[in-house]
A and B are shown apart, each in its own frame.
Chain A
Amino acid sequence: MTYEIIRSSGCHTSRDHSLIIGTSKLTGSKRSPVPHTICEKIIARAAGVESVRPGEIVTCKVDLAMMHDSSGPRRQIEKLEAVGADVWDPDKVVVITDHFVHETDPDSIRIQDITRDWVAAKGVKRYHEKEGICHVVLPEGGHLVPGMFLVGGDSHSPTAGAFGCFMIGIGTTDLTGVLATGEIWVRVPHTIRVEVTGALPRGLAAKDVILSLCHRIGLNGANYKAVEFAGSAVKAMSVDERMVLTNMSAEIGAKTGIIAADSKTLDWLREAGAPVNGTGSMSDPDAAFEQIIEIDANVLAPQVAAPHSPANSRPVDENAGVKIQQAYIGACTGAKLDDLRMAAGIVKGKKVAQGTRFVVAPASNRVRDRAAKEGTIATLVDAGAMILPSGCGGCIGLGPARLGENEVGISSSSRNFRGRMGAKSSQGYLGSAYTVAASALAGCIVDPREYV
């Protein structure tokens, strides 16, 4: 649907432009004499220089700027006016509504109206209204090509790194700067390489890998750094799963997370209609990583983060038995097709425990439709799941999945800061879709390996 709209609205030029980015400088990978990481190569290309070193401050031209209904027009209009500038290139702006959608209160309704009117007035054609959560709709909309340099008005923007893109989250004023000039200054980050070796055992997912990393290095363990994920377990992961790693690199303070594109990435993007040609950059074999962290997937246990931080992640045993009122499969992090399939695999033919709400909000309409077509949604509903429309919702304590006073919930989302999922007194736990679904059946936090 989206592609139809984009094509028929004459957006060819910008798409073709992405194609040029994708084929010329990126894939030609002229080997520079000094070895570089993927991120350094993308930044150098965007800065229009031969090469960059970590620590250097450079100004980059932005290939695409993404924003949602919270960081977007409602906060940009006044700021752009104050600068006295207009949008530098409407074809390079993507607007996706997800935070305050399915609006019923006057504030949210107003925000949706402002957003819709603004994109129309500015001629922004890459607009996705209520199609799902921005970090999932961005690749689904065919906007990404490996090697792009992007900014997003949201902290989980590094998600696009799963497609070999360099994408950083920025605040609204930084975004105004980009909208006005098409440029942004960045300090070239050092890169930490996370090697996930071995293979994930049954009942484990990318979420367990990243939660264990949150515990191991802490919320600022990768502050200002880029994190490049590699290794056999990452190679074996689906693109959906890889997105969990880059998405939650935000939780370790990283500037971005990235995974070199391979044939899986390209197939995924092609299917989404992206003008892909070539794989983009790879880190040179002798590139200088600031640190290499090894995670042995073979011996990993399912992880659960206790309130109120993803860094409170521990093997599930340590939180097993905690009684829950809600199990939530949702958010850009934890409600993609693979997550829904994991959950369905666990609950198939079973029933959710009495006294537990099992709530599923697919990450996008495309995910929902695919899951419906293959029967995954029906399996979830049969087990007692309540299906919500796609949006941020429960991840930020909005809508029907909001945790009430003193309630305890486990969620496949990315953050469990105090009060984020609902009432200040609520207790939010994080886990994989397997763990969340198994806990829904048990009515308390359990080890999903006993259910797969």
Chain B
Amino acid sequence: MAEGRAWVYGDDVDTDLMAPSAYLMKPADQVVRHCMEAVDPAFAKSVIPGDVFVAGKNLGVGSSREQAPQNLQALGIRYVLAKSFGRIFYRNALNLGLPALVCENTDRINKGDELKIDPVAGRVENLSTGETLECEPLPAHLVEMINDGGLIPHLKKKLARKGV
């Protein structure tokens, strides 16, 4: 279980906001600086490891670019909570080992709230408000993959087991 501060955004936060097209040909450490800058220039500068990215409906709508969740992860985001996700973003985040949790009540969370998250039990404790929110538990095969650290280490383990 981990604690972290919440960064809260609204509905339809798209992949162009998290990873602007204009920088995509640049090395990853340069793209990351522009994460969310079109709506919140403070985000990339002030986010600290362990923070939680909270959004409304349809987080990660848009392109398939994995730099979107990758940037959040590189900046130190430990969990992503949203009412719903763009489907590719959702898979991308989990594949990177960044737990993306579907939480109906993200509007109960305010910017800066301290959150304590148990991804397996599907529970978000808001230490700042004293409220406990539920989130959808992940399917077992995805929990296993995240515990391995994402799809790459997971595949490595599986292929090694098969002796390929």
- Distance A417 CA – B57 CA, assembled complex (angstroms): 16
Chain B, residue nearest A185 (CB): B141
B contact residues around A307 at 8 Å (CB) = none
- Distance A108 CA – B27 CA, assembled complex (angstroms): 11
When the two chains form the complex, which single residue of B62, B95, B152, B160 contacts A417, counting CB atoms closer than 8 Å? Answer: B62
Number of interface residues of A (CB under 8 A): 48
B contact residues around A171 at 8 Å (CB) = 64-66, 88-89, 91-92, 95
Asked if A79 contacts B152 (CB within 8 A), the reply is: yes
- Distance A172 CA – B15 CA, assembled complex (angstroms): 14
Chain B, residue nearest A157 (CB): B64
- Asked if A153 CB lies within 8 Å of chain B CBs, one says yes
Supposing A85-B159, A398-B21, A420-B21 touch, asked if A174 and B61 sit within 8 A by C-beta, the answer is no
- Asked if B42 CB lies within 8 Å of chain A CBs, one says no
Which of A216-224, A354-362, A366-374 contacts the other chain?
A: A216-224
B contact residues around A161 at 8 Å (CB) = none
- Asked if B51 CB lies within 8 Å of chain A CBs, one says no
**A54-111 at interface with B (beta carbon < 8 Å):** 57, 70-71, 75, 79, 82-85, 99-100, 105, 107-108, 111
**B16-42 at interface with A (beta carbon < 8 Å):** 16-17, 20-22, 24-27, 37-39
Supposing A155-B88, A418-B17 touch, asked if A170 and B64 sit within 8 A by C-beta, the answer is yes
Asked if B151 contacts A398 (CB within 8 A), the reply is: no
B contact residues around A83 at 8 Å (CB) = 152, 155-156, 159
Supposing A155-B88, A170-B88 touch, asked if A84 and B160 sit within 8 A by C-beta, the answer is yes
- Distance A100 CA – B37 CA, assembled complex (angstroms): 23
A contact residues around B151 at 8 Å (CB) = 173-174, 176-177
B contact residues around A177 at 8 Å (CB) = 95, 151, 155
- Asked if A396 CB lies within 8 Å of chain B CBs, one says yes
Asked if A418 contacts B16 (CB within 8 A), the reply is: yes
Asked if B159 contacts A419 (CB within 8 A), the reply is: no
- Distance A77 CA – B26 CA, assembled complex (angstroms): 17
User: From DSSP, what is the main secondary structure of chain A's interface residues?
Assistant: loop
Interface centre among B37, B61, B139, B151 (most CB of A within 10 A): B61
B contact residues around A396 at 8 Å (CB) = 21-22, 24
- Asked if B45 CB lies within 8 Å of chain A CBs, one says no
Asked if A57 contacts B139 (CB within 8 A), the reply is: yes
Supposing A155-B88, A219-B58, A418-B17 touch, asked if A82 and B152 sit within 8 A by C-beta, the answer is yes
- Distance A220 CA – B62 CA, assembled complex (angstroms): 10
When the two chains form the complex, which single residue of A157, A174, A397 contacts B91, counting CB atoms closer than 8 Å? Answer: A174
Chain B, residue nearest A392 (CB): B21
Minimum CB–CB distance from A261 to chain B (whole Å) comes to: 25
Interface centre among A107, A171, A219, A415 (most CB of B within 10 A): A171
- Distance A253 CA – B16 CA, assembled complex (angstroms): 15
- Distance A108 CA – B21 CA, assembled complex (angstroms): 13
When the two chains form the complex, which single residue of A170, A253, A309, A419 contacts B86, counting CB atoms closer than 8 Å? Answer: A253
Asked if A419 contacts B152 (CB within 8 A), the reply is: no
Interface centre among A108, A172, A311 (most CB of B within 10 A): A172
Chain A, residue nearest B37 (CB): A424
- Asked if A255 CB lies within 8 Å of chain B CBs, one says yes
Asked if B58 contacts A71 (CB within 8 A), the reply is: no
Minimum CB–CB distance from A262 to chain B (whole Å) comes to: 28
- Asked if B150 CB lies within 8 Å of chain A CBs, one says yes
Bin the interface of chain B by size: 35 or more
- Asked if A384 CB lies within 8 Å of chain B CBs, one says no
Asked if B61 contacts A219 (CB within 8 A), the reply is: yes
Chain A, residue nearest B97 (CB): A173
Interface mask (B124-148 → A, CB under 8 Å = 1, otherwise 0):
0000000000000001010000000
- Asked if A14 CB lies within 8 Å of chain B CBs, one says no
A contact residues around B139 at 8 Å (CB) = 57
- Distance A83 CA – B161 CA, assembled complex (angstroms): 12
When the two chains form the complex, which single residue of A71, A75, A173, A311 contacts B95, counting CB atoms closer than 8 Å? Answer: A173
Interface centre among B24, B25, B89 (most CB of A within 10 A): B25
- Distance A307 CA – B84 CA, assembled complex (angstroms): 22
- Asked if B1 CB lies within 8 Å of chain A CBs, one says no
Minimum CB–CB distance from A54 to chain B (whole Å) comes to: 14
Asked if A70 contacts B65 (CB within 8 A), the reply is: yes
- Asked if B87 CB lies within 8 Å of chain A CBs, one says yes
A contact residues around B22 at 8 Å (CB) = 396-398, 419, 422
- Asked if B14 CB lies within 8 Å of chain A CBs, one says yes
**A223-254 at interface with B (beta carbon < 8 Å):** 223-224, 253
Asked if B25 contacts A111 (CB within 8 A), the reply is: yes
- Distance A155 CA – B61 CA, assembled complex (angstroms): 10
B contact residues around A170 at 8 Å (CB) = 64, 88, 91
In the A-B complex, the 9 residue pairs with the smallest Cβ-Cβ separation, listed nearest first, are: A171-B92, A173-B95, A396-B21, A171-B66, A220-B58, A155-B64, A107-B25, A417-B16, A172-B66
B residues sitting closer than 8 Å to A (CB atoms) are 12, 14, 16-17, 20-22, 24-27, 37-39, 57-58, 61-66, 84-89, 91-92, 95-96, 139, 141, 150-153, 155-156, 159-160, 164
Given A171-B89, A396-B21, output 18 extra A-B contacts at Cβ < 8 Å: A70-B24, A71-B65, A84-B159, A84-B160, A85-B155, A99-B24, A171-B88, A171-B95, A176-B151, A176-B155, A180-B155, A181-B155, A220-B58, A220-B61, A253-B58, A419-B16, A419-B38, A424-B37
Can you list 10 A-B contacts (CB < 8 A)? A71-B66, A154-B64, A157-B64, A169-B64, A176-B155, A185-B141, A219-B61, A220-B57, A223-B87, A419-B22
A residues sitting closer than 8 Å to B (CB atoms) are 57, 70-71, 75, 79, 82-85, 99-100, 105, 107-108, 111, 153-155, 157, 169-174, 176-177, 180-181, 185, 219-220, 223-224, 253, 255, 309, 311, 396-398, 415, 417-420, 422, 424
